[in-house]
Amino acid sequence: MSVDTPRRIVLLRHAKADWPQVSDHERPLAERGRSDAPVAGRRLAETGIGFDLALCSTAVRTRETWKLAVHELPERPRTVYEDRLYEASLGELIALLNDVPDEVSDLLVIGHNPGMHALADALAGRAEGDTATRMNRSGFPTSAFAVLAFDGSWKSVEHGVGTLVDFWTPHD
């Protein structure tokens, strides 16, 4: 696969989490999260993107979101549970994307805010239609996802490299 291959990154924020007396990393999904995650999965399937790889934070709420969403996809992509996604800064998220192998053309990242919103905002040098306005107005709620497209190698991912082509929330 050429380094000039068109690529897509989908950034999915975990579904609504509960607040029991456990560490933040161990927080499970709330009832609303358990109902929103499969809806997000169905909407991901409707995009028609066949993911080559899913990177999922190791936090309980992201793993539970992925478990519920992936059943709605036509094919299950290879999944890597990635410690570096939990509490990652924008720079750490970009460094993680720079490590993605170039055989991957379509990547799904299941993570947390403020990172998912910051990453979508940073990568989107351009936006189609009102996608950026909708994303910034909504603040990237739980179960929302952004779809960004770019050309080039994963090693070339940096601020402004992509186009925000879609943004979805469960309340759209």
> What's at 153, amino acid-wise?
S
Taken in order 150, 78, 81, 39, is the CA torsion positive or negative? positive
Torsion of CA 80, 52, 161, 84, to 10 degrees: 0
Q: Say if residue 61 carries a ligand binding annotation.
A: yes
Q: What is the 3-state secondary structure (H, E, C) of 16-34?
A: CECCCCCCHHHCCECHHHH
Contact 104, 154 (CB under 8 A): yes
Interhelix angle 131-138/115-123, rounded to 10 degrees, is: 160
Q: How many other C-beta atoms are found inside a 10 Å radius of the C-beta of residue 10?
A: 22
Q: Examine the residue annotation and report whether 87 is marked as an active-site residue of this protein.
A: yes
Q: Residue 161: exposed, middle, or buried by beta-carbon count in 10 A (0-12, 13-18, 19+)?
A: buried
Residue 117: active-site member: no
Catalytic position from the list 25, 31, 71, 87: 87
Residues that constitute the known binding site:
61
Residues that constitute the known binding site for substrate:
61
Looking at the annotation, which residues are catalytic? 14, 87
